[in-house]
Chains A and B, each alone.
Chain A
Amino acid sequence: MNSIRPRLMSDQPVLQARGVFKSYQKDRVEVPVLRGIDLDITPGEITALVGRSGSGKSTLMHLMATLDQPDRGEIWFRGNRIDNASRKERDAFRNRDVGIIFQFYHLLPELSAIENVLAPAMIGQSTWSYFRNRKESKRQAEAMLDRVGLLHRATHKPSEMSGGEMQRAAIARALMTRPALLLADEPTGNLDTETGLEVLKLLRGLNADDGLTIVMITHDESIAAGADKTWKMKDGRVVDDRLLQVA
């Protein structure tokens, strides 16, 4: 289907949503979650998506990550449509172009920290190719762990790490393939205040030092306060449209 490409801003948004609708089937009743979202993510910024639980923010993040597909509307990544791209293209997008961290870390329990960090590299290449590049990959992974301050835990399994350490390992994993943007779904939701602040500090550091674009989903307005841009969501819509607000 040919659709009109959205008007591009001067610094082209890395991710755009246009007219996105999504609903879920529950016992023959359609439950609408997103009712027409228009959204732009500016590169190099920390964008916060704020809303109560049930406001659809997580769903929107899943759609942005191509983990799900919208019922109506489009999602664009760097000027290319990704919501209706082929399976293979969407898998590659998730592997290379976007990093995701979750509230519950989602580390693979059987692998050590460094193996978890290496996972995206393993997934994105054939066995032979990975084997050839393994030294480089290992170096990169160690660098990532070092960047998040977790090198001393490289060989530890998730069960041997604290919540904060696990989230940092997840961040290192998300950044392994040097993605264009990091999607963070309630990253501090499972951490105590102090640890949460440490993680946020790390993220802000990555944004400031490396120019990492971050989209943070949170219900906590105070966390959103530290973001460059905030989109408020309520009942599946964006309220307080601040498209024109400059960071």
Chain B
Amino acid sequence: MYRWMLCFRYLRTRYIALASIVSVTLGVATLIIVNSVMAGFAAEMHERLHGLASDILIECHASGGLPDPDANLAEIRKVLGDRLDGSSVSVHVPGMLGIEFNGQLITRHVNLVGIDPETYDKVSQFGRFLLHPGNQSQVNFDLKETGFAPDREGFPESGWGYRRQRVAYDQALEQERQRVESSLRRIRGETLKPDAASEAPSMALDFSTSMFVDASGEGPKKFDPAMEQFPGIVLGISTCSARLRNDDGNVSDHYYCRPGDDVRMMFPNASDNTKVVNQKFTVVDLYESGMSEYDSTFAFVRLDQLQEFRGMIDPSTGTRSVTAIQLKLVEGADLNIARDDLRRRFPPDRYALNIQTWRDMQGPLLAAVRLETTILNILLFLIIAVAGFGILATFFMIVVEKTRDIGTLKALGASSSGVMSIFLSYGVLLGIVGSGVGMVGGLVFIRHINSIAAIIEDITGQEVFDPTVYYFSKIPTIVDPWTIAWVVAGSITIATMASVLPSLRAARMHPVRALRFE
């Protein structure tokens, strides 16, 4: 009883000891905050990565791809049974994107993906990342009239309306240019000299346009961009835009092309003697997932069109080959087991197939986040351990200060272990108080983390989370009770261990020497 009484009295009267646990408090608070922010980050990433990738991806890297995907799908259905929720096929091929901007050609390396608009959205999240609300519900590669990104401020006018305007503008510009050029020639006194080629006898009669008349009697039409579009393409938003800070420090996006513009794609065809296909596409929408890896490297076109361009259709049977199959499993299915079952059915020594779950694909990224979290935890715990030494020193001082009282207690019949437990309990109590305050402080900080970040931004003028780099506006946090539990338990343990040595010293004091201590 005397132990508890003294212990609590010491706690109440000695503020220097409370100062020594401030570092414990800070360490605990920081650990809790850091862990919850990193958990929030990781969960966001997790969710996005899983949303972007299908549950299981089967890839074939031969340039011709899988020659008979339907047969493969039938086998897959047999292996997975009712675990399979949906499937989709696609073609992945590296390509070069060319965008004409301000008279220059901007090139970008992209991964060109041919998707099946009916099924792709069912195996992974795709539609919800498109800018046009109409496309979000049903993916469609036809250019819409207008109405892109209605919630986004400052998004330039796009769609058919814009396209027609631009065509008209381009034509007017071209006419003006020709007019200026011919008046310049007139001023300089030049006339158009007929060159040798146009003087030569004409072969026009041998190659008249009547050759190109088709079955219905119509000749080839001239492509009118104001009325027609090329095959549609959805570009990752970062492939055709740049996010910059302008002079007054505000962030703005600059688009090199937008829905309604035409771009060029160059990609290899599917034969063994690879040739480059050069095809024009019309941008029909932009794709923004928030993950820079996807937004800056992907471009999507219609699967059947891509197969035609690349020559992936078997002329005799009409089967269309693909390079990838995406699978979605039912809720709760074990992905690793499913992957292993498929690997057994399509063993790597007989099939050139790469079968992975989404975690396998993004494993390294998630593992990196986990490693970072672990290292941070170790570092912050070391800080608390350092705080432990502060407690050790303070306790030594307190024990020295209490030497006479320890002598008195022993004179009154207190046992050595009893005296030791006074100081040990004091250490535990300090640990509890320090960790408790740290825990409460940390949780309050997390609650108001966005306001605090705003205040810091106001004070320092620096942005805490640079929106040009990070893709969220609110800091994500997840508070895990188990994390809090072991942080608090660990800190109390450190505080307790730090008080062991001084307590032992108190216990071992010789009563007479203690009583005589000045």
A positions within 8 Å CB-CB of B: 62, 65, 67-68, 87-88, 91-96, 100, 102, 106-111, 115, 119-120, 122-125, 127, 130-131, 173
Contacts and interface: CB of A to CB of B under 8 A. Distances in A.
Contacts of B6: 108, 110-111
Contacts of A62: 511-512
Looking at chain B's contact residues, the main secondary structure is helix
Given A109-B405, A123-B2, A130-B1, A91 B414 contact: yes
8 contacts: A65-B411, A95-B412, A100-B411, A100-B412, A106-B404, A123-B413, A123-B418, A124-B413
A94 B412 contact: yes
Given A108-B405, A110-B9, A119-B2, A87 B414 contact: no
A123 B410 CA distance: 10
A123 B9 CA distance: 16
A87 B414 CA distance: 10
Contacts of A109: 405
B512 A95 contact: no
A68 B511 contact: yes
B216 interface: no
Given A94-B411, A108-B405, A68 B512 contact: yes
Could you say which interface size class chain B belongs to?
20 to 34
B512 A91 contact: no
Contacts of B187: none
Contacts of A173: 412
A83 B10 CA distance: 34
A92 to B, nearest CB: 7
Please name the 8 residue pairs, one residue from A and one from B, whose CB atoms are nearest each other, closest first.
Answer: A95-B413, A122-B2, A110-B9, A94-B413, A122-B1, A106-B408, A67-B511, A130-B1
B1 A131 contact: yes
Contacts of A123: 2, 409, 412-414, 418
A56 to B, nearest CB: 13
Contacts of A125: 1
Given A109-B405, A110-B10, A120-B412, A127 B512 contact: no
Nearest to B518: A104
A91 B404 CA distance: 17
A122 B5 contact: yes
A100 B413 CA distance: 11
A62 B407 CA distance: 12
B383 interface: no
A109 B6 CA distance: 10
B415 interface: yes
Contacts of B515: 67, 102, 106
Nearest to B418: A123
Interface of B: 1-2, 4-6, 9-10, 13, 404-405, 407-416, 418, 510-512, 515
A187 B412 CA distance: 17
**Residue among A93, A100, A119 with the most chain B CB within 10 A?**
A119
Nearest to A92: B413
Given A108-B6, A122-B2, A88 B512 contact: no
**Residue among B1, B10, B13, B412 with the most chain A CB within 10 A?**
B412
B411 A115 contact: no
Contacts of A110: 6, 9-10, 13
Contact of A120 (B13, B410, B413, B415): B413
Contacts of A94: 410-413
Contact of A93 (B13, B404, B408, B413): B413
A217 B1 CA distance: 32
Contact of B407 (A92, A95, A96, A106): A106
Given A67-B515, A110-B6, A88 B1 contact: no
A147 to B, nearest CB: 19
A115 B5 contact: yes
A88 B415 contact: yes
Given A111-B5, A122-B1, A67 B411 contact: yes
A110 B13 CA distance: 8
A102 B13 CA distance: 25
B112 to A, nearest CB: 77
A93 B511 CA distance: 15
A123 B404 CA distance: 17
B1 A111 contact: no
B10 A87 contact: no
Contacts of B408: 106-108
